[in-house]
């Protein structure tokens, strides 16, 4: 081949954080075959899909087996029944979203990565530490990414105070991965006001909204004016255990505009060109997850994970290890004890307790010295890990 490749790929780190973690665990396992390893690292769910969801998938599968009810290509933006179910989901916590502004996706990651197709060479602002997709998808497109630091002083919830009022693409994630920190209404309102004043656009990732246990906003659209300055990405991955089933949505309000171009119209055009929709069976499953019965079952699963989180949180409190998250999030973000570096602490836990977590440094420079544990394991695994850490730390 003699073609010029996208050299921007040279700017992203060659391997993905979780591949690095998996490699170290593989190497450790190979060297210590008798040791039982407990994984509190990767952010994947472990509980099966809810019964209501499974029933809907079976029924939809049967429809696909009958010529009278068979479906071919799905509408690019999603079936109306699901767009409406998503709007009802927002209404259930007091937020108004028009079904027509809802774009059904195969999960938040794809749309977070794809949405940047709509922009030219704009400045991008990303919190640090952060879910790596925001950074890498912009670097691949040749954009320069600036960071705003989350730290102990701001509770890992950076604010726009002090930023110059120039337009930028701003990523926010609440509840946050990796820190588990959650913006209050006032905290998010600061960002919305900043975006309106500066002509910026917020790309808001609400993938963990279902974990919120207090009155913190579950959507950026809970904030007045956000419909004029924000796009929201959400997913059933963590809400309903859809990490392998794949369904989410993106809200692109019709009221967003720069005066000439409409991001909603552009997104419609982009999706119609490059996306052929989410499978019918999956959209019916998603509709079922968002029904009252389905959501009650999903919330029971979330309660199970939160119980795990509470066990880990109790240990950290007992050991006086500073941390955020764990109440409105499946993630606990802790300061590595003894001033250790993130990878140093990773190796320490792996070798001394055979517990796997995620080094904070993998989420950005500001994550160095921190470590992420997740509540997505089984209760048994979590209990055993907590016992081992209790002895070790
Ligand atoms: N956004 C955040 C903050 C995440 O942590 C994840 C997955 O871990 C995603 C988006 C991706 O979710 P999905 O499975 O919907 O692609």
- In a 3-state reduction of DSSP, which class is residue 100? helix
CA of 4 to the centre of ligand 1 (A): 32
CA distances from 337 to 52, 118, 323, 362, 369 (A): 43, 43, 11, 18, 9
Task: Please indicate whether residue 107, judged by its CB atom, sits closer than 6 Å to ligand 1.
Answer: yes
The verdict on the CB of residue 235 being under 6 Å from ligand 1 is yes
User: Of all protein residues, whose CA lies closest to atom 1 belonging to ligand 1?
Assistant: 207
Tell me the angle at which helices 292-318 and 51-64 cross, rounded to the nearest 10 degrees: 140
Architecture of domain 51-292: 3-Layer(aba) Sandwich (3.40)
Cβ–ligand 1 contact at 237 (below 6 Å): yes
Angle between helices 80-92 and 280-290 (to 10 degrees): 20
Torsion angles phi and psi, residue 51, rounded to 5: -55, -40
CB 256 near ligand 1, within 6 Å: no
Residue 266 burial by Cβ neighbours in a 10 Å radius (0-12, 13-18, 19+):
middle
Site to substitute for ligand 1 among 109, 231, 375, most atoms within 8 A of C-beta = 109
* Pocket lining: 43 vs ligand 1, CB cutoff 6 Å: yes
- Contact 174 CB / ligand 1 (< 6 Å): no
**Residue nearest atom 2 of ligand 1, based on CA coordinates:** 207
Q: What is the structure's pLDDT at 13? A: 77
**What pLDDT was estimated at residue 15?**
64
- Please give the Cα distance from 148 to 348 (Å, whole number): 30
pLDDT at 261: 86
Q: How far apart are CA 45 and CA 347, in angstroms?
A: 24
- The pLDDT, as a whole number, for residue 259 is 74
Alpha helices in 214-291 (DSSP H): 263-274, 280-290
pLDDT (tens digit, 0 to 9) for every residue of the chain, 393 residues total? 999 999 999 988 766 788 889 999 999 999 999 999 999 987 899 999 999 999 999 999 999 999 999 999 999 999 999 999 999 999 999 999 999 999 999 999 999 999 999 999 999 999 999 998 999 999 999 999 999 999 999 999 999 999 999 999 999 999 999 999 999 999 999 999 999 999 999 999 999 999 999 999 999 999 999 999 999 999 999 999 999 999 999 999 999 987 788 999 999 999 999 999 999 999 999 999 999 999 999 999 999 999 999 999 999 999 999 999 999 999 999 999 999 999 999 999 999 999 999 999 999 999 999 999 999 999 999 999 999 999 999
331 CA distance to ligand 1 middle (Å): 13
Q: Is 286 in the pocket of ligand 1 (CB under 6 A)?
A: no
Ligand 1 in contact with 171 (CB < 6 A)? no
251 close to ligand 1 (CB < 6 Angstrom): no
φ, ψ (nearest 5 deg) of residue 201? -120, 130
CA–CA–CA angle 14, 267, 192 (5° rounding): 85
Tokens of 247: 């369904």
Do the strands 201-205 and 230-235 form a parallel or antiparallel pair, or are they unpaired? parallel
Domain boundaries, the chain: 15-44+294-392, 51-292
Q: Is 275 helix (H, G, I), strand (E, B) or coil?
A: coil
**Ligand 1 pocket mutation pick from 126, 174, 177 by most atoms within 8 angstroms of CB:** 177
104 lines ligand 1 (CB under 6 A): no
List the one residue out of 276, 77, 103, 112 whose CA is nearest residue 207: 112
CA 234/CA 346 separation, integer angstroms: 30
Architecture of domain 15-44+294-392: Alpha-Beta Complex (3.90)
């Amino acid at each position: 081949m003699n073609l010029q490749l996208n050299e921007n790929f040279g700017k992203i780190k060659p391997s993905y954080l979780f591949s690095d973690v998996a490699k170290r665990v593989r190497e450790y396992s190979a060297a210590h075959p008798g040791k039982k390893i407990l994984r509190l690292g990767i952010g994947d769910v472990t509980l099966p899909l809810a019964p209501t969801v499974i029933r809907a998938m079976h029924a939809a599968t049967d429809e696909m087996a009958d010529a009278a009810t068979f479906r071919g290509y799905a509408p690019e933006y999603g079936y109306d029944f699901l767009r409406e179910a998503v709007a009802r989901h927002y209404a259930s916590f007091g937020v108004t979203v028009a079904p027509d502004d809802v774009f059904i996706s195969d999960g938040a990651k794809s749309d977070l990565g794809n949405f940047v197709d709509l922009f030219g060479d704009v400045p991008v602002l990303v919190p640090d530490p952060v879910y790596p997709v925001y950074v890498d998808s912009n670097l691949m497109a040749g954009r320069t990414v600036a960071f705003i630091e989350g730290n102990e002083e701001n509770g890992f919830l950076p604010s726009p105070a002090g930023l110059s009022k120039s337009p930028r693409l701003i990523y926010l994630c609440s509840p946050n991965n990796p820190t588990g920190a959650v913006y209050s209404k006032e905290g998010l309102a600061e960002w919305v006001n900043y975006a309106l004043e500066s002509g910026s656009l917020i790309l808001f990732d609400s993938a963990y909204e279902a974990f919120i246990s207090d009155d913190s906003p579950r959507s950026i659209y809970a904030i007045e004016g956000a419909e004029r300055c924000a796009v929201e990405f959400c997913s059933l991955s963590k809400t309903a255990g859809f990490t392998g089933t794949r369904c989410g949505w993106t809200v692109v309000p019709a009221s967003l505009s720069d005066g000439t171009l409409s991001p909603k119209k552009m997104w419609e055009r982009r999706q119609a060109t490059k996306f052929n929709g989410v499978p019918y069976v999956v959209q019916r499953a998603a509709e079922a997850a968002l029904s009252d019965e389905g959501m009650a079952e999903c919330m029971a699963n979330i309660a199970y994970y939160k119980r795990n989180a509470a066990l880990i949180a109790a240990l950290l409190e007992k050991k006086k290890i500073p941390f955020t998250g764990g109440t409105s999030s499946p993630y606990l973000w802790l300061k590595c004890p003894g001033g250790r570096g993130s990878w140093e602490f990773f190796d320490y836990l792996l070798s001394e307790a055979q517990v796997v977590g995620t080094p904070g440094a993998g989420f950005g420079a500001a994550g160095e010295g921190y470590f992420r544990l997740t509540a997505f394991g089984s209760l048994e695994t979590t209990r055993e890990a907590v016992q081992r850490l209790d002895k070790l730390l």
